[in-house]
Amino acid sequence: FVPDPFSNDGGRLYRTGDLARWLPDGNLEYLAP
């Protein structure tokens, strides 16, 4: 687990190694495992 940079209360994220990006329309584009 890694610190969640978007959390104000010390949340954690699970690091999967997947590569993705946010698109301007708000969708998430999956790029690679």
Contact between 20 and 27 (Cβ < 8 Å)? no
What pLDDT, on the 0 to 100 scale, is given for residue 24?
A: 97
State how far the Cα of 11 lies from the Cα of 28, in Å rounded to an integer.
21
pLDDT-derived band at 4, boundaries 50, 70, 90? very high
Q: Provide the whole-model pTM.
A: 0.44
State how beta strands 28-32 and 19-22 pair.
Answer: antiparallel
What pLDDT, on the 0 to 100 scale, is given for residue 18?
A: 87
What pLDDT, on the 0 to 100 scale, is given for residue 3?
A: 93
6-26 per-position pLDDT tens digit? 899 989 988 888 889 999 999
Whether 32 has a pLDDT exceeding 90, the answer reads: no
